[in-house]
Amino acid sequence: MAEHRAHAAPHATEDHKPHGWRRWVYATNHKDIGTMYLVFACTMFFVGGAMAMVIRLELFQPGLQFVDPQFFNSMTTMHALIMIFGAIMPAWTGLANWMIPMQVGAPDMALPRLNNFSFWILPFAFTLLLSTLFVPGGAPAGGWTMYPPLVLQTGASFPMLIFSVHMMGASSILGAINVVVTIMNMRAPGMTLLRMPLFVWTWLITAYLLIAVMPVLAGAVTMLLTDHFFGTTFFTAAGGGDPVMFQHIFWFFGHPEVYILILPAFGIISEVIPTFSRKPLFGYEAMVYAVASIAFLSFIVWAHHMFTVGMPLAAQLFFMLSTMLIAIPTGVKVFNWTATMWKGSLSFEPPMLFALAFLFLFTIGGFSGLMLAMVPADYQYQDTYFVVAHFHYVLVPGAIFGIMAGVYYWLPKWTGKMYDLKLATWHFWLSAIFVNVLFFPQHFLGLAGMPRRVPDYAVQFTDWNMVSSIGGFAFGLSQLLFPYVIIKCVRSGERVGNRAWEGAHGLEWELPSPPPYHSWTTPPSDAVIARGAAH
Amino acid sequence: MQPHGSTPATVPNRPAAAPAAEAERRRRVRRSAIFFAVIAAAFYFGFIAMMLARGMK
């Protein structure tokens, strides 16, 4: 420590740390940018969540009560775009910014100014997207998938939608390039690839996915734009184009996107479970290969989202079987997390509680995914609430709980203070109970035939919709505890040491809490790296 | 349910990298960033070109 301080102390006074608004607008420090990403994601989570409350309010009873159908469809479209591109993805990038340099022994991200640019694109993108609520014709209402020809009927908000999606894509690509370049070039000597923490591994693979598929989305929306404004007919049947082709291109992006949203959660769960089991991760290398296999398979399963458009039997069989193959590496991961806990000395602090809920509830989402992978069954489930239940099980107790596990795990490291564990435990239990009240009944509604993206429904669906809405309101309210716990921690948390959790391993826990402005101004030694890589 | 207190940490560090090694690392960072940007651009233009080629058949 003395040696570290000897390096760090003079640096702390010469770290060019700007103050006031300049610190944030001109930020190049990975921690500052990570904080901005996380605050932005949290804000968008509540904006998108407010839209979900409007949806559940309208669906509380059959009939049209509060909003007109056009606005309802705008809410479903905007809720999805905001939650995917504004909440979950920026939250992962924020966690990556905070943790990757600290975990690989680097002083900062490889491209700090690009990092600043990647972040600052986002507020403009989402201001543009949200401002569509106030233009003539209203916000986009054709679904987040932007299928033509429906999306081409969007009013004045269409070019704003396309431009904002472009900006979100550019931000993600630049962020992903930064992550790959950092991991490949900035690791401390001795931090070999197979010594890296699982969170770094999952982010490396996620970043490759982003670089491969975000430009595909950008290409698809560019073609929509030229179809709308420049007379091309890429997706217009009247001019020889093919609207189904858009679906193929969109889902070539869209399915890997699902894994972009969930793979970093796998990394966090792989950090949290060993810490609170006080055991090394079971099957570290198998976990790395499982994540890589899932990423590879994600490129060859896209058409399972569109079985009902009509495709050759051979294609249906191929996409059905390739989708089912994903269950194998995913099963490896679930098995390894369970085996890590086996005979461990378990304790149930909030990060572990969220990780355990992830394990159970993400598996439910995985199983309903397998049901949807079966072509004959999918014909029944397509466009019903069963699909809504499936992907919300994957994304809320999957991705969102993963983010919460990560924030509760590393918050003491970031702030140097421990949060109110009792309040965070309350946050967990309210979230875990009401997320099930919210989404589990949607399986029944879907199996009974209730279509998605409708503001009104037949009366036989009323009871479960009421239950789901009550769960939704309670889940939404309970999320207010999350920022409260964080703010309370920052203001008045109890001081913690370097290693805030007894069983924690990894380079980040070797640094002081909170860590210095520049994390590893000189690379850590082999002994420190070996101690961190205790898997 | 107890958080765990301070671990007396010793963080023995290596000396900072030599200027030549640092310059080489900067070159690698720049080269790999440009490489991935080119790949992203290739996917973007490649899919549009593929659709154009398909439309001209």
Q: How far is CA A285 from CA A17, A289, A292, A388, A533, in A?
A: 39, 6, 11, 34, 13
Rounded to an integer, the average pLDDT of B49-54 is 86
pLDDT at residue A14 tops 60? no
Q: Kindly tell me the sign of the dihedral angle through the C-alpha atoms of A410, A49, A129, A224.
A: positive
Rounded to an integer, the average pLDDT of A85-93 is 97
Which is nearest to A161 in space by CA: A145, A143, A139?
Answer: A139
Q: Which amino acid is at A7?
A: H
Residue B9: predicted pLDDT: 43
> Using the beta-carbon criterion (under 8 Å), do A216 and B51 form an inter-chain contact?
no
Residue B17: predicted pLDDT: 66
Rounded to an integer, the average pLDDT of A182-199 is 94
A7 is catalytic: no
Residue A232: predicted pLDDT: 92
What are the start-end ranges of the H helices in A59-88? 69-81
A305 is catalytic: yes
Distance from CA of A520 to the nearest CA of B (A): 9
Distance from CA of A309 to the nearest CA of B (A): 19
Distance from CA of B57 to the nearest CA of A (A): 10
> Using the beta-carbon criterion (under 8 Å), do A522 and B39 form an inter-chain contact?
no
Which of A115, A299, A528, A531 is the best substitution to test chain B (most B C-beta atoms within 10 A)?
A: A528
A457 is catalytic: no
pLDDT in tens, B19-51: 788 889 899 999 999 999 999 999 999 998 988
Distance from CA of A61 to the nearest CA of B (A): 42
Q: CA angle at residue A384 from A383 to A389, to 5 degrees?
A: 115
Q: What is the DSSP letter of A494?
A: E
Phi (first) and psi of residue A495, to 5 degrees: -60, 145
Question: Measured between alpha carbons, how far is A184 from A302 in angstroms, rounded to an integer?
Answer: 29
Residue A168: predicted pLDDT: 96
Which is nearest to A247 in space by CA: A373, A374, A146?
Answer: A146
Which of B36, B39, B45, B54 is the best substitution to test chain A (most A C-beta atoms within 10 A)?
A: B36
Question: Measured between alpha carbons, how far is A422 from A430 in angstroms, rounded to an integer?
Answer: 12
ipTM of the complex model: 0.85
Q: Which amino acid is at B4?
A: H
Which CATH class for the A29-532 domain? mainly alpha
Considering CB atoms only, which of B7, B15, B32 is closest to A522? Answer: B15
Asked if A515 and A30 touch (Cβ cutoff 8 Å), the reply is no
Q: In chain A, what are the domain boundaries?
A: 29-532
Which of A216, A507, A519 is the best substitution to test chain B (most B C-beta atoms within 10 A)?
A: A216
The length of chain B in residues reads 57
> Using the beta-carbon criterion (under 8 Å), do B5 and A497 form an inter-chain contact?
yes
